[in-house]
């Protein structure tokens, strides 16, 4: 829990120390500085020290002018991890240096640092003991009620990240398409958005053949999860957020090698990000209309599974030649986008997917790959990313790239030949977006980290890109 309190005496105390400004540091800590040369305020340096029976965690911030929001989020996460390690459940945190530097603008990243630094996937151990903490923020002197409101909204957004992380970390047998649907229904009840779950017979009626083809590879049948959040009654426009919901991806008949199967439960991270973002928007009653569409299914081997060489139909009417059954994400996303256009009347679309290993080769684990047909829409994403601190990079689209998906026997094929795997995968999906403004996010690198790269991450799911999606629609003063 995060509390805004003037009370000053706790068993634990977090202090942040600039290299070049210590005017706000309490005397007892300054005295300790004389005896400990590590207390110089170097960025990310940590000193844990008892001073008159109180446990101090002192974290360096580097130079006053060099501090930015990303560093702030990391130092805060680092500090709370120290308290957690020491088993201290109640402690003060003096945020004067952040307020001095950034005023209330620092609060979102502060909340993120605290909650994500403390995040842990507790899993299914029978003897789990959850750590229950309260951080008392000190150093807020004005507009306490306004600060509380900002913190409350920030907590809702970060809860969206945590929801996404928990879903992605859950293994395939504990999160089948049906179980995922049930989780979304519960979240809809809590946050106030409408949820509709479409089962196989309804998907048949809609002719969602590409989605059904992948889904029929498993006894755990597919579900189309539709989340409707209508926060702006003055507008009839609605944006579509389409997230890949493959609850496990074995590759199907084009089976993955066993040593690459580690992360297959995380192949619904795009869907999880959509769920987390819409949760935050609904909790904060943001004035916008979005519909989340998540085709949830498994990609396995069964008697019914599709095989390379097959030609399948799609809801759009286009026929698709299957080159590789492991390129399943684009098939289900194609139908989900068509559903968004034909049934929900979306006026723009963002699709989010753990789609290609090629994007990891290109951009690594900290940057999401983007394709888009609309620069204005992309600029809005970049603005949102400046608030979220997440990184995106746009891939080029040239006419000759489109030729790579031409099939001899169908309208399109589901895989290009060599290279450009991220671009061809994105272009496949984009060809189903018709003329709508479209952004494609390939989060295969950013959804999952092992080992963690930043202090506010823990091994496994990251919750990317929940906050960027949130800020794309909720650019208020959260």
Cα distances (Å, whole numbers) of residue 218 to 176, 215, 227, 270, 302: 10, 6, 24, 20, 6
244 a known binding residue?
A: yes
54 a known binding residue?
A: no
Residue with smaller CB distance to ligand BES, 96 or 324: 324
Please report how close the Cβ of residue 335 comes to ligand BES at its closest, in angstroms: 15
Please report how close the Cβ of residue 307 comes to ligand BES at its closest, in angstroms: 14
267 a known binding residue?
A: yes
Please report how close the Cβ of residue 397 comes to ligand BES at its closest, in angstroms: 18
My answer on whether omega of the bond before 295 falls inside 30° of 0, hence cis, is no
The closest alpha carbon to 385, from 286, 475, 318, belongs to 475
Number of helices (H), then strands (E), in the chain = 15, 20
Q: Is 263 helix (H, G, I), strand (E, B) or coil?
A: coil
User: Which member of 112, 298, 328, 335 binds ligand BES (CB under 6 A)?
Assistant: 328
Site string for ligand BES, 198-227 (x = CB under 6 A): ------------------------------
Q: How far apart are CA 139 and CA 144, in angstroms?
A: 11
165 a catalytic residue? no
324 binds ligand BES (CB under 6 A): yes
Please report how close the Cβ of residue 325 comes to ligand BES at its closest, in angstroms: 8
328 a known binding residue?
A: yes
Please report how close the Cβ of residue 249 comes to ligand BES at its closest, in angstroms: 5
Strands across the sheet containing 54-62: 2-4, 134-138, 90-94, 12-18, 54-62, 46-51
My answer on whether omega of the bond before 451 falls inside 30° of 0, hence cis, is yes
Q: Which of Zn ion, ligand BES, none does residue 263 bind to, with CB < 5 to 8 Å depending on kind?
A: ligand BES
Using an 8 Å Cβ cutoff, are 97 and 16 in contact?
yes
330 a catalytic residue? yes
Map the footprint of ligand BES across residues 427-446, applying CB under 6 A.
444
Please report how close the Cβ of residue 447 comes to ligand BES at its closest, in angstroms: 7
Catalytic member of 42, 256, 285, 287: 256
The closest alpha carbon to 177, from 226, 245, 244, 272, belongs to 245
Strands across the sheet containing 320-321: 311-312, 320-321, 412-413
103 a known binding residue?
A: no
Q: Is 176 helix (H, G, I), strand (E, B) or coil?
A: coil
Q: Which of Zn ion, ligand BES, none does residue 444 bind to, with CB < 5 to 8 Å depending on kind?
A: ligand BES
Q: What is the largest CA-CA distance in the chain?
A: 79
- Spatial neighbors of 226 by CB under 8 A, at least 6 apart, are 195, 196, 197, 198, 291, 292, 293, 294, 344
Map the footprint of ligand BES across residues 233-292, applying CB under 6 A.
249, 263, 267
Of 42-50, 136-144, 168-176, 261-269, which segment contacts Zn ion by CB under 5 A? 261-269
117 binds ligand BES (CB under 6 A): no
442 binds Zn ion (CB under 5 A): no
Site string for Zn ion, 238-257 (x = CB under 5 A): --------x--x--------
Cα distances (Å, whole numbers) of residue 221 to 105, 200, 246: 46, 7, 11
329 binds Zn ion (CB under 5 A): yes
Number of residues that bind Zn ion (CB under 5 A): 6
- Token output for 463: 């919750």
Which residues belong to the annotated binding site?
Answer: 244, 249, 267, 326, 328
Interface residues toward ligand BES, by CB under 6 A: 249, 263, 267, 324, 326-329, 354-358, 415, 421, 444
Interface residues toward Zn ion, by CB under 5 A: 246, 249, 267, 326, 328-329
């Amino acid at each position: 829990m995060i509390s805004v309190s003037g009370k000053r005496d706790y068993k634990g105390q977090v202090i942040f120390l600039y290299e070049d400004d210590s005017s706000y540091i309490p005397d007892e800590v300054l005295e300790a500085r004389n005896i400990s040369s590590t207390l110089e305020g170097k960025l990310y340096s940590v000193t844990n020290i008892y001073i008159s029976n109180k446990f101090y965690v002192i974290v360096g911030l580097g130079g006053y002018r060099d501090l930015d929001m990303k560093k702030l989020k990391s130092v805060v996460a680092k500090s709370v991890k120290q308290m957690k390690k020491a088993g201290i459940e109640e402690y003060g945190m003096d945020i004067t240096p952040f307020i001095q530097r950034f005023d209330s603008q620092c609060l979102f990243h502060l909340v993120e640092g605290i909650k994500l630094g403390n995040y842990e996937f507790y899993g299914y151990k029978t003897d789990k003991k959850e750590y229950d903490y309260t951080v008392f923020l000190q150093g807020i002197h004005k507009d306490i009620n306004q600060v509380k409101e900002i913190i409350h909204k920030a907590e809702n957004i970060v809860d969206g990240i945590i929801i996404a992380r928990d879903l992605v970390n859950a293994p395939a047998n504990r999160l089948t398409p049906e179980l995922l649907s049930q989780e979304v229904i519960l979240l809809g009840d809590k946050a106030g958005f409408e949820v509709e779950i479409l089962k196989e017979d309804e998907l048949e009626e809609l002719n969602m053949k590409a989605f059904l083809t992948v889904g029929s590879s498993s006894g755990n049948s597919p579900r189309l999860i539709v989340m409707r959040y209508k926060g702006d009654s003055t507008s009839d426009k609605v944006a579509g957020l389409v997230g890949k919901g493959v609850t496990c991806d074995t590759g199907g008949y084009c089976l993955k090698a066993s040593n690459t199967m580690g992360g297959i439960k995380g192949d619904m991270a795009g869907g999880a990000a959509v769920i987390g973002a819409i949760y935050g928007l609904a909790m904060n009653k943001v004035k916008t209309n979005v519909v989340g569409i998540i085709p949830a299914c498994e990609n396995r081997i069964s008697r019914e599974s599709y095989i390379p060489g097959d030609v399948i139909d799609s809801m759009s009417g286009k026929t698709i030649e299957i080159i590789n059954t492991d390129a399943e994400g684009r098939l289900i996303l194609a139908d989900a986008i068509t559903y968004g256009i034909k049934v929900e009347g979306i006026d723009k679309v963002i699709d989010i997917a753990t789609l290609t290993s090629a994007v990891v080769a290109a951009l690594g684990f900290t940057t999401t790959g983007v394709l888009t047909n609309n620069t204005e829409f992309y600029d809005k994403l970049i603005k949102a990313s400046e608030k979220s601190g997440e990184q995106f990079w746009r891939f080029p689209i040239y006419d000759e790239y489109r030729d790579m998906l031409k099939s001899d026997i169908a309208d399109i094929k589901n895989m290009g030949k060599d290279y450009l795997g991220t671009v061809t995968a994105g272009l496949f999906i984009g060809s189903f977006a018709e003329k709508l403004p479209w952004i494609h996010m390939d989060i295969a690198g950013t959804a999952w980290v092992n080992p963690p790269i930043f202090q506010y991450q823990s091994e496994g799911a990251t919750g990317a890109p929940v906050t960027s999606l949130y800020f794309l629609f909720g650019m208020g003063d959260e």
